[in-house]
Structure 1
Amino acid sequence: MSRSPLGVLVIGAGAIADLHVAAVAADPRCVLAGFADVSADRARSAAHRNGGVPWTADVAEALTRPDVDACIVCTPNDTHEDLALRVAAAGKHLLLEKPLATTAEGAEAIVAAFARRDLVLAVAHSHRFYDYARTVHDEIAAGAVGRPTLVRLALLGGWIWPDWRTWVIDPVRSGGHALHNGVHLLDLVTWWIDSRPVSVYARGQRRTATELDVHDYLEMVVEYADGAVAICEMSRAHRPATLSHRDVVVQGTGGLLTMAWDGDSPLLWDEKGTHLLDPGVADGFAAQLGAWLDAVTAGDTRTPVSGEEAALAVALGVAAERSMVSGLPVEVS
């Protein structure tokens, strides 16, 4: 890169942007170059909270600034494709909030645009960077359970959305809950199993209220080319609203790995006995930013969550949404 530290523009100054900004502030390899948001008030407020950095409501103008080397996009899902293509055209590297896009075609267009310009594209599947997910992945990759045959992942929580006007419960803007939040689970189990997904069979419920336009409770079953099966359960409908419940089970040909909801330490059963694994503690957003910066500063377009992997996660989420409509398994294209 031409300069160090890297100038990072944050596009979209909503709640999730705060987590990315905190990661930027903690990494000496980058500096916050400012905010761009369609709401001038929101951009101004974010800039004021972060030391009076530049702000604008004009994304096009911000992308022409010479001190902007890269962007983090934290905007509603239906804007991702347009903004990502504009960032690529401006020659900037990108860390994009999940999902990559709301359609498989849009996701593929983004991946192609960054490949053409030899720019670094990373997608914020942040769960991959937390120690629980890394520990499960690393144990599977090391052969601790043999070949995975069945994975169950449950992430259950209460209502997190601010009110009934929020874009995330508008299926046109978010793509549906399977694409907005469920994509975390679909990405993780596919990463863990490391096989090609062939179909998704999903059902959803509107547990909070029948008036919801998205399903706030999801069950998704993914089948893979090697015969493995993943069962994903996702909820934003549990009570109390502060509930945060996670459950992991990985059955393989050579062992069993579990992670109970009330602790972060996984248990591994294999032929040598029972082992308690220590995943440690990490800031997933900081680790995610660090991995992106590693790629940018090294001039390496490969990232821990590649554009191709993120596009596959989009295809899985879209298939899940279609399955809930049809009531039938949907092939993953």
Structure 2
Amino acid sequence: MPSSIGILLVGAGFIADVHSAAVAASSRAHLAGIVDADPGRAAAFARSHGAVPYTVDLAEALAWPNVDAVVVCTPNDTHRRIGAQVAAAGKHLLIEKPLATTLADARALAAEFAAAGRVLVAAHSHRHHAYGRAVKEAIEAGAVGRPRHARLAILGGWIWTGWDAWAADPVRSGGHALHNGVHVLDLVTWWLGGDPVRVFARGRRQTAAELRIYDYLEMVVEYADGAVSVCEMSRAHRPGSFGLRELLVTGTGGVIRQDWDGESSFLHTEGGTGLVPAAGGDGFTAQFESWLDAIGGAPSAMPVADAVRAVELGVAVEESIASGRPVAVGAAA
């Protein structure tokens, strides 16, 4: 690989700004170009990022000589098709979670990148946030003995961009369990280190009855060794500026706990009540640097098998909600 890795960004939506900032902060990479289906949005993004090349044609951009790796920030239902193009072009890929919207597609992408000998990483950014790493490191250091139970709740509001937003379309997003729930499902499973065997979940349309997805989720995951995790994920809480996180990990020898206000402080302004952003580091920057490490030959902090498993869990959650029954992990399609 060159001394500075050329990054092609695919998709110029709001999350692209976060990823492009991670690229700009790195001494090992640079933004080589942008692809977006909307030519006006692609041009505007390119102008605001140093007049980099832009196009609406992914195949054209993948052929640019200075493109070494790709960051994909497009809707979930496009991941399979775009990922296949990137693998065929022989480029490394960091793709927004979920890896795909079906287990079959996730497995196919994993196989294609393995065959191409290129690094595939799904952007499960919470693994790279300070709190996620701190819990994992404490467990590995023996702070709780053998972990037996985890509870993680990430609760907050979300202003949907419109009733026609792709994230609120269960076909395009895969549902809330795949779009956002995979964050908590992956994190607790990573912490506990077990093999998930069964999921039982329920969902509610909390924001409005007309919403096409469940914006509030309760998810219970059982593991082969008897451990259990209980997760909540909400984008329905109000006020929207007030985000909460609760976590608890118990084991045979101890407890790790962070209360909802343990990382932040209240902030009262004319605009409402919120929390002071925690000084916990930039998870997206850490994630990007970890991906570059993996491209350089280091073990991946987000192995492909874990990204596939996160899809498997998300799909199982959606099926459990639909059926009202527990679903065996691996039995979901």
Letter in 2 for 1:87: V
Q: How far has the Cα of 1:299 moved from its partner?
A: 3.5
Question: Over aligned residue pairs, what C-alpha RMSD do you find?
Answer: 1.2
Most deviating of 280-289 and 38-47: 280-289
Matched, 1:54 2:53: yes
**How far apart are residue 164 of structure 1 and its match?**
1.2
Aligned to 1:237: 236
Partner Cα separation in structure 2 for residue 244 and residue 27 of structure 1 = 29
Asked whether the equivalents of residues 10 and 36 of structure 1 are also in contact (C-alpha less than 8 Å), the reply is yes
Q: Which residue of 1 aligns with 2:273?
A: none
Partner of 1:35 in structure 2? 34
Q: Distance in 1 between matches of 2:120 and 2:286?
A: 16
Q: How does 1:181-260 map to 2 (within 5 A)?
A: 181-260=180-259
Give the alignment of 1:12-161 within 5 angstroms.
Answer: 12-161=11-160
Judge conservation of contact 1:121–1:303 (CA < 8 Å) in 2.
Answer: no
Match of residue 318 from structure 1:
315
Q: Displacement of 1:295 after TM fit? A: 1.4
Query: Could you tell which deviates more after superposition, 86-95 or 279-288?
Result: 279-288
User: Distance between the aligned counterparts of 1:295 and 1:324, measured in 2?
Assistant: 36
Are 1:304 and 2:301 counterparts? yes
Q: Supply the distance in 1 between the matched residues of 2:97 and 2:69 (Cα, whole angstroms).
A: 17
| 1:306 CA displacement | 1.3
| Aligned match of 2:267 | none
Return the letter of the residue paired with 1:319.
Answer: A
Any idea what SS the aligned residue of 1:220 has?
strand
Measured against aligned partners, the alpha-carbon deviations of 1:135-190 in whole angstroms (never above 9, x if no partner) come to 11111111110111111000000023222121000000000000100000000000
Structure 2 letter corresponding to 1:8: I
**Which residue does 2:329 correspond to in 1?**
332
Aligned to 2:269: none
Which ranges of structure 2 fall in alignment gaps of 5 or more residues? 265-277
Q: What SS is found at the alignment partner of 1:100?
A: coil
The answer (yes or no) to whether the contact 1:198–1:331 under 8 Å persists in 2 is yes
TM-score (norm 2): 0.93
1:281: which partner in 2? 280
Could you list the per-position Cα deviations for residues 67-112 of structure 1 after superposition, in whole angstroms to 9, with x for gaps in the alignment?
1000000000000011001000000000000000000000000000
Distance 2:174 2:121 in 1: 20
Q: Deviations over 1:221-246 (max 9, x none)?
A: 00000100000001111110111100
Q: Which amino acid aligns with 1:41?
A: G
Q: What SS does structure 2 have at the residue aligned with 1:13?
A: coil
Instruction: Please state how far the C-alpha of 1:51 moved relative to its aligned partner.
Output: 1.1
1:29-66 Cα deviation digits (max 9, x unpaired): 00100100111111111001111100000111001111
CA contact (8 A) 1:99 1:314 kept: yes
Deviation at 1:264, TM superposition (A): 2.3
Contact 1:151 1:231 in 2 (8 A): yes
* Aligned partner letter, 1:287: A
- Aligned-partner SS, 2:34: strand
Aligned to 1:261: 260
- The sequence identity of aligned pairs, in percent, is 58
- Determine helix, strand or coil for the equivalent of 1:106: helix
Q: How many residues align?
A: 317
What's the secondary structure of 2:51's corresponding residue? coil
Structure-1 separation of matches of 2:176 and 2:242: 18
C-alpha deviation, 1:280, in angstroms: 7.0
Alignment match, 1:9: 8
- C-alpha separation in 1, matches of 2:232 and 2:310: 16
The secondary structure found in structure 2 opposite 1:323 is helix
Deviation at 1:25, TM superposition (A): 0.3
User: Is contact 1:157-1:242 (8 Å) kept?
Assistant: yes
In structure 2, what residue type is equivalent to 1:239?
A: R
Q: TM-score, normalised by structure 1?
A: 0.93
CA distance in 2, matches of 1:262, 1:281: 14
CA contact (8 A) 1:131 1:280 kept: no
